[in-house]
């Protein structure tokens, strides 16, 4: 595994090869699926087998589980490439490989890893993360209402989760529930729940503005029994699993914003070079040229910072100062990258004019997709709050 040294801004040869190959795969295999996925709000039944065939499952998993044995940095590069050409496929893959799989890898015991990670690596098990609830978004821990009550060697889950990526297609969900009501957020536990378990149901599949090809659902648990052996981490230790996962999720998703902005720039530049008005290409008009220049600068700045923070997170020490820096910088990186991406998508539609407003245009899809990354994995406001606490010297 090779990563950037702190402060470096260029990929080495191995990293560039990984990014180039992931872009080729995404351009050839995922881009042709993007329009239909968006229109039908479905992902192909064989999508995970496609990922597995080309070696894009289990990126951070050790080879003993059938994984690729790479690191967070490399996973982030692949996220960038997939986001560039098919954001819906990227999100479905990311919820499985990072949000669910990587959290299990980092926190679960050997038994759980042996039971679930090989299937996640070969595509026979699809994973999801179940944290957000109808009444618990930014306050996901404090307002959590889902409970898990011990009954012998099992826990009985009751409650619901919403906005769950892969919810309609998942075989397992890494779900969080309160196991000690008196302890508040210190009484939350993480479980691996198999969706074939009696009492589990997909209450509804949700229709979204963007990322429409990535299936999202509300999940319900009605006296749903989960073995105590499926606890991830420690009993009542779910807050640690959540927080370590959120830092990784934020910096993992930040490269997707970079990739999407790159695609907005590519499409806009091509259009500006070929679209003629007043007998000349519209790129000859300074108003359009300046928009393209600003998009390019934004991509370069975001890419440099995101790569730096990816390297920091991949190599971070476990000291209090190290964790605080990762917490702040991962929030800052996705804060900047997603704001830049939304602005790039807005300018891309503007450059395309009336054509950009048409549903079937790729820039239209990118525009609709852009907003989610300013909400998921902590809103922009939450991210600014994390950075603010860090600046005040308070451990976030």
Give the catalytic positions in this structure.
249
- Cβ-based neighbour number of residue 270 at 10 Å: 11
Q: Which residues of 138-175 are buried (b: 16+ CB within 10 A; e: fewer)?
A: eebbeebebbbeeeeebbbbbbbbbbbbbbbbbbbbbb
Q: For residue 223, how far is the Cα from the chain centroid?
A: 30
- Give CA–CA dist 390/258, Å, rounded: 25
Distances (CA, A) of 312 to 213, 318, 321, 328, 377: 32, 12, 13, 11, 19
Q: Which residues contact 3 (CB under 8 A, 6 or more apart)?
A: 71, 73, 310, 311, 314, 315
Give phi and psi for 235, each to the nearest 5.
Answer: -60, 130
CA 7, 16, 34: angle at the middle one, nearest 5? Answer: 115
- Cβ-based neighbour number of residue 392 at 10 Å: 8
- Give CA–CA dist 46/50, Å, rounded: 6
């Amino acid at each position: 595994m090779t990563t950037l040294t702190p402060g470096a801004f260029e990929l080495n040869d191995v990293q560039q090869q990984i990014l180039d190959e992931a872009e080729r795969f995404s351009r050839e295999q995922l881009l042709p699926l993007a329009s239909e996925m968006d229109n039908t709000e479905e992902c192909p039944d064989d999508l995970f087998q496609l990922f597995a065939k080309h070696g894009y499952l289990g990126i951070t998993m050790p080879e003993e589980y059938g994984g690729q044995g790479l690191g967070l940095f490399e996973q982030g590069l692949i996220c960038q490439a997939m986001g560039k050409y098919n954001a819906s496929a990227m999100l479905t893959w990311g919820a499985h490989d990072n949000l669910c799989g990587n959290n299990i890898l980092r926190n679960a015991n050997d038994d759980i890893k042996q039971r679930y990670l090989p299937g996640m690596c070969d595509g026979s098990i699809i994973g999801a993360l179940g944290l957000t609830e109808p009444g618990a978004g930014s306050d996901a821990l404090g307002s959590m209402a889902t409970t898990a009550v011990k009954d012998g060697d099992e826990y009985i889950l009751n409650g619901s989760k919403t906005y769950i990526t892969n919810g309609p297609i998942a075989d397992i969900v890494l779900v969080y529930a309160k196991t000690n009501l008196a302890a508040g957020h210190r009484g939350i536990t993480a479980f691996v729940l198999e969706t074939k378990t009696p009492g589990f149901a997909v209450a509804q599949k949700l229709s979204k503005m963007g990322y429409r090809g990535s299936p999202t659902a509300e999940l319900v648990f009605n006296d749903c029994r989960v073995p105590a052996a499926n606890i991830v981490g420690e009993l009542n230790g779910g807050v640690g699993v959540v927080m370590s996962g959120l830092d990784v999720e934020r910096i993992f998703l930040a490269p997707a914003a970079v990739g999407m902005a790159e695609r907005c720039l590519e499409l806009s530049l091509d259009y500006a070079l070929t679209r003629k008005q007043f007998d000349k290409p519209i790129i000859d008009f300074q108003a359009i040229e300046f928009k393209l220049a600003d998009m390019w600068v934004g991509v370069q700045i975001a890419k440099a910072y995101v790569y730096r923070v990816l390297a920091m997170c991949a190599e971070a020490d476990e000291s209090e100062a190290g964790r605080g820096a990762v917490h702040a910088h991962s929030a800052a990186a996705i804060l900047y990258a997603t704001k830049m991406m939304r602005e790039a998508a807005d300018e891309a539609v503007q450059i395309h004019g009336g054509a950009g407003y048409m549903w079937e245009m790729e820039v239209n899809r990118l525009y609709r997709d852009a907003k989610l990354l300013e909400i998921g994995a902590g809103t922009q406001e939450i991210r600014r709050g994390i950075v603010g606490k860090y600046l005040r010297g308070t451990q976030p």
